[in-house]
Structure 1
């Protein structure tokens, strides 16, 4: 249950085995990046706006001939939640046995281009280790299936993708910007494990520095990765950084570049093994700026 003014999101990403294509899918209840939800919280007593009135599906495709980006927000009448399924508009996330099946059929905000397909995520194991990421227990990260294989069959645009996959979820009892100023996150997959790094600057001045190794057999180990590495700023001047165990880290390509958020493909090593990591940088202070709030509706399609 997502409390009034809070949020929940379910995140899936995949990189093709050849490194050419990537996809990211996020389903939101209480869309943290919605200017409409932000306005509703500002009007509601104590910020207690209804998160079910602001649910969303975000689909991003990357690679030659298939770049596409969709963010559609729906009202409560278009949303259905069951223990094994979340249905938002024309898209759904459903557990079918041990496979997470994502079906989406959405349109872009400006030109109305169709983006549709089916993604199947096959987890190696289910660690079942929710972790608080703030000092007060108001924000929780749940790495549901951090080591996985993905098969994606898209019809619009036409694409078949097979590769490494990742699935997690985040939940908050308050807006994301109430707990954090900025954060960075990354995941890198090897054949037998996935490495995740989580770093955040919290609003109370404290720092989150978390590293985990998720083995394919379900074991979970801490990871220090003590060497800080700068990855350079984006065109919107968003700072990007990561941590490693001493290996270099370089940007392969910037997948998404916005005034408050960047997604990047990074080349690095885990031990002696070369890996491609999915990396994100988020500035909540940028997100809250009046200029960015004015720009956001042009990227979001709202369906009441």
Structure 2
């Protein structure tokens, strides 16, 4: 294992993430009205773990859906014509849905984004998501309803975004490093509360044009939160940063914990994270697909025991013809 601050097995230099210029002009909370350029994307991401550890959740609202085979096949000329709300409930009564909808099914302003019958809105102190979707899990021959409301209340807000590449074609902003979440689903009939997280990604080109792979994780600390982000860009250059957010949500670069290898997913996606002594354990694999895996991971970071949400993404696999052939079965597109 390599020591703290040494993320490379090859000895090549890594670059730290740099603050992006003009990111939301210092505003707190999400804005949904910014234009998405041709070829680009914008998404808002939420994840959460229930207080009892039995449930998990991710919600992603996409404009210019980055993993859409329809957007890719179209030449990515009209991102708002490829919008979707991805909802994944993990644990008992799991559900997964991601239905793509055209531009005439999308409306938005600074505080609200609606995609088909579902919507996401920022109230000034909370993010509220009304979900009216249908399940699309593999192996399920019928599409079950997925309906309910999720409310995410940030415990801190951060206005600073970071560029994932020197040209700032890809920007990531951790909007709420810590949050509380209340999940009230009608179908399936489940409700719970827990700890959560909100971020926003935007870009002017496709992910596969910018990157080969990345590994990302976030965890709550006693006095704030930490996000570790690293990857390999399409040109072969690498980046790796550990960002610690204080109790007010202010981010600062910190020394990288050691690299901790994790077992490959069932689809053989390579996974890794950051942890003290390079030691970490996968608790649950939330998503296991041919090109990405999302998991909860137990470890110690900066001397504290944490449960982190971790993601590994392989964009070379995503771009392969066989994966592109498979995706429409997982992500249907509707005209209404």
TM-score, normalised relative to structure 1:
0.95
1:155 and 2:182 aligned: no
CA distance in 2, matches of 1:274, 1:156: 34
SS in 2 for 1:246: helix
| Maintained 8 Å contact 1:94/1:102 | yes
Partner of 1:227: 258
Instruction: State the match for 2:174 in structure 1.
Output: 143
Whole-angstrom distance in 2 between the partners of 1:208 and 1:16: 32
Q: Which residue of 1 aligns with 2:130?
A: 103
The answer to whether the Cα contact below 8 Å between 1:139 and 1:170 also exists between their aligned partners in 2 is yes
Q: What per-residue deviation string (whole Å, max 9, x for no partner) do you get for residues 177-216 of structure 1?
A: 1000011111111343111111110001111102111123
Which residue in the other structure is 1:251 paired with? Answer: 282
Count of equivalent residues: 297
The equivalent of 2:54 in structure 1 is: 20
* Residue of structure 1 in register with 2:72 after alignment: 38
Q: Give the match's secondary structure for 1:229.
A: strand
Residue 269 of structure 1: how far off its partner (Å): 1.4
Separation in structure 2 between the aligned mates of residue 154 and residue 269 of structure 1, nearest angstrom: 33
Q: Which of 24, 35, 38 is the equivalent residue of 1:4? A: 38
Please state how far the C-alpha of 1:96 moved relative to its aligned partner: 1.1
Equivalents in 1 of 2:127, 2:188: separation in Å?
A: 21
Asked whether the 8 Å contact 2:224–2:249 carries over to 1, the reply is no
Question: Which portions of structure 1, spanning 4 or more consecutive aligned residues, are displaced by more than 3 angstroms?
Answer: none
| Aligned position for 2:159 | 128
Pair 1:89-2:116 in alignment: yes
1:57 is matched with which residue: 82, 85, 88? 85
How do 1:268-283 and structure 2 match up within 5 A? 268-283=299-314
The 8 Å contact of residues 225 and 245 in structure 1, kept in 2 or not, is answered as no
Structure 2: gaps of 5 or more residues: 1-34
Paired residues of 1:192 and 1:215 also in contact (CA < 8 A): yes
SS, match of residue 296 in structure 1? helix
Partner of 2:29: none
Q: Is the 8 A contact 1:108 1:301 kept in 2?
A: no
Larger relative contact order (C-alpha < 8 A, sep ≥ 6)? 2
